[in-house]
Amino acid sequence: MSDKSHAYKNFGGKVGKVFSTSEPEWPMPPTAPPDAPNVLVMLVDDLGFSDLGCFGSEIETPALDKLAADGIQYTNFHVNPMCSPTRASLLTGLNSHMAGMGHVAHFDPGFPGYAMEIREDALTMGDLFQDHGWASLMIGKWHLCKDSQLSEAGPKHSWPLQKGFERFYGILGGFTNFHQPHRLHEDNHALDVDDYPEDYYFTDDLTDQAIKMIKELRSSDPIKPWFMYFAHGAVHAPLQAKIEDIEKYKGKYDAGWDEFRKQRFERQQELGVVPDKAILPDRNFEQNHEVKPWGDLTSMEKELFARYQEIFAGMVDNVDQNFKRLRDELERMGEWENTIIVFTSDNGGSREGQELGTSAYFRTLLAFTGHTDLESTELDHSRIDLLGGPRSLAHYPMGWAMASNTPFRLYKTNTHQGGQQVPLIVHWGKGLPSDKELRHQYQHVTDILPTICELVE
């Protein structure tokens, strides 16, 4: 038999005429270096620059604030101003158009830069880590394949397990109901869920599944390092939160977006997140992006709009709670100190709720295409007690997105800084000493992959 046979390509042994004159070889599986770190890349959805306490927010995020204090906090980090393009750049290290994801993944317009799937020859973080001996795990929101490929019929070549991940739990599309997800996937198949527990909440579930995956790995291999891409569905619309998390912020936002934007800016200056000499810009005024002064709103609008932000704050708070829960478990398992943590957001705060916000998120999405007029604030106000629960799909008005993106202008989808400058925190207890000085140098999402590769070498 010829050594050039395809079946024996790269075979390092010897094939003789009989078994006794042959020499076997067993290929070694890829093995990570001794004491290689775990890697956790956590991406939050639509979290604005000022939405964490360490970046100026009044929202309580003690676990993430501690991560920043113990690690490295970056104040000049930039992403693409939309969801799927940032995800593609994060996972591949490529410009989003070069990766095939020049826009949000829905339909394919027929051009390579907008193929709505990561191109076939582009390696992802999942590929790289798996090929070098790490377990490769993914939790949360994918949103990197076309709408036409989301069904069980496939094709599945752009699903997570075909893009470098060995395990997956979450959603393939862009968003879902946090209390009753419409379509969950595990690995390469959809889950058949008839009913959810009354206390079910998507962010809690994702954290449960992340912990479960790591424990399952450790039950069979006590030393193999893992890479986990944890892409939260929060805090993307629909704005839905647990009752206790909403109640925590009840009445908190009655002063309105102008006041909280001002307070956040002042806190950012105190923290050193923005320079002392910086000046807070006027509220957004561009056509179709303009924000009314809070004082010009009716009492009904103020009550409704404040409620939207109470829900949003509850969602951010819950992300922090779940991060602490994951950290506590990693510490209990002895995994924390040798785990590289990268925490960031895919883009700035979203203006998809438009001027008035909504109790029905699809309504404002349709309005962007001109198919329907916005329904009345009176109707949304009549649903105020439903907001945040499973029977409403709320989104806040863009005045709160303006506050979310303090001190920058405009929003998600805009190339202004409000759309693409977001928080970044990096922590590695064993390998990176904490840096009390904030890092103000420019970084871009395409820097993340090569930087992690350099750290784990």
What CA–CA distance (Å, rounded) separates 89 from 92?
A: 5
Active site residue 83: yes
In degrees rounded to 5, what are phi and psi of residue 168? -150, 140
Which residue has tokens 């800084």? 417
Give the long-range contacts of residues 94-98, CB within 8 A, separation 24 or more. Answer: 94/122, 94/446, 95/446
Which helix (H) or strand (E) segment is 42 a member of?
A: strand 38-44
Active site residue 189: no
What CA–CA distance (Å, rounded) separates 422 from 129?
A: 26
What CA–CA distance (Å, rounded) separates 381 from 358?
A: 9
Phi-psi region of 288 (alpha: psi -120 to 50; beta: other; left: phi over 0): left
Go through 102-116 and write b for each residue having 16 or more CB atoms within 10 A of its CB, e for each that does not: bbebeeeeeeeebbb
Q: Specify the amino acid at residue 78.
A: H
Query: Which member of 78, 97, 132, 143 is catalytic?
Result: 143
What CA–CA distance (Å, rounded) separates 50 from 411?
A: 13
What CA–CA distance (Å, rounded) separates 206 from 303?
A: 32
Of 434, 372, 51, 413, the C-alpha closest to 234 is: 51
The pair of structure tokens assigned to 96 is 């989003």
The pair of structure tokens assigned to 119 is 């191109």
Query: Which member of 54, 83, 232, 289 is catalytic?
Result: 83
The pair of structure tokens assigned to 342 is 């990268």
Go through 35-70 and write b for each residue having 16 or more CB atoms within 10 A of its CB, e for each that does not: ebbbbbbbbbbbbbbbbbbbbbbebebebbbbbbeb
Cα-Cα-Cα-Cα dihedral of 310, 312, 313, 317, to 10°?
140
Helices (H) and strands (E) in the chain, counts: 13, 10
Residue 336 DSSP one-character state: S
**Which residues does the annotation mark as catalytic?**
83, 143
